[in-house]
Structure 1
Amino acid sequence: MAPASTVASEPLHQQRTSGLRKVPMQTGILPGCEPCHKKVCAHGTCQPSSQAGFTCECEEGWTGPLCDQRTNDPCLGNKCVHGTCLPINAFSYSCKCLEGHGGVLCDEEEDLFNPCQAIKCKHGKCRLSGLGQPYCECSSGYTGDSCDREISCRGERVRDYYQKQQGYAACQTTKKVSRLECRGGCAGGQCCGPLRSKRRKYSFECTDGSSFVDEVEKVVKCGCTRCAS
């Protein structure tokens, strides 16, 4: 009697896995998890297509495998005149207007209250303080709340750098220089200006790294004199 034939068999764990094939995983799906377990469709609804797959049904105006690409940009060629375009959906937008402008397209000017309308500066300009209060900054030679009073010619001492242009480089003295600035008004058609000055040598430094020594004319006395033509 012939011996019974034997059949070679695979190990048990190989038999269990031999019927499986490797399936590439889609974005947003983890091994062992169901499709659509996570919100992977940026602007759409996830629909399972198999045990390990899904498709995205996109909202209007969006496309792509994950519904993350716009089909249309409504702000292209927008008509916001003085404002910024803000998309509402794929086909419409609104305009966010800059201060002082209104209307659907920000093309209308709005009347804004200007605190400087409340005061008059005869010889000066209206400025706003840190608290938003208007005041007059007077031109040289004038004073008063409305810059309507002329002050007599005088020399105001200042301490600052002298500046010069040397070719393409900007230069200034290595230290601050004390001098007078002539301010105020004069009667009889004369002008307030230097009556006496003196020259002094100072060192200058320039933005290109160079340096030099030059004379500077310092005003030491101011008064009323003939106006420069």
Structure 2
Amino acid sequence: MKSPSSDSKNSLSSFLGNAFLFAVPAALIVMLGIVGFAFVGGMKKETKKDEAAVAASAPAPVDAPAAVGGSAPAAPAAGGGASAPASTIDPAVMALGKQSYMLCAACHGPDGSGLKAGPALMAPSLVGSKLLLADPDVSLLIILKGIAKENMNYMGVMAPLAAGLDDEKLAAVLTYTRNEWGNSAPAVTVEQAAAARAKFANVDAPAGVKRSEIEAIVAAHKK
């Protein structure tokens, strides 16, 4: 037979056990809540820091200058016809230009840097060439009429290629070389090539034009 004191002890033990079982999960829940709250708060702070850093690093907007008297039309490119911006060049034109350049690569090299012939070069480099990247009429004149052999700076001879390149290939090869190997310049159009062929037809230079006369010839044939 159990004594009253034994029943009291059992009841107290049962109560304490139940209280412990309830308190531990409750404490864990509270702790997890505190940790979660701190984590979320930290994430919000980091997000705000990141947003502030991005905003600080973003360039300030630049107001576009107001047009005076309305938008002015773009000036036509020298040499007749409008040159297409380099960013809008037709890939098919570049492909045709690359194919047509095989005729030029024998002296200018496949990479445009000039083919080596011992210590000398067969032809000047086209990479960053001032003549190539200048007024398209300059290059058109050179290709159509050739360049006279005046010294031994280069082993090759720039022969006239008017008969070997029609207007489409002439425009394409110039567009290609003006936008390859790091070069960047407006495309040369078929219309520009045709116009140059017509206006330079009367240039009497069977052995090619002299380098010193190229700019003067181009200027004399400007409309």
TM-score normalised over the length of structure 2:
0.21
* Higher RCO (CA 8 Å, separation ≥ 6 residues): 2
Higher strand fraction (1 or 2):
1
TM-score normalised over the length of structure 1:
0.21
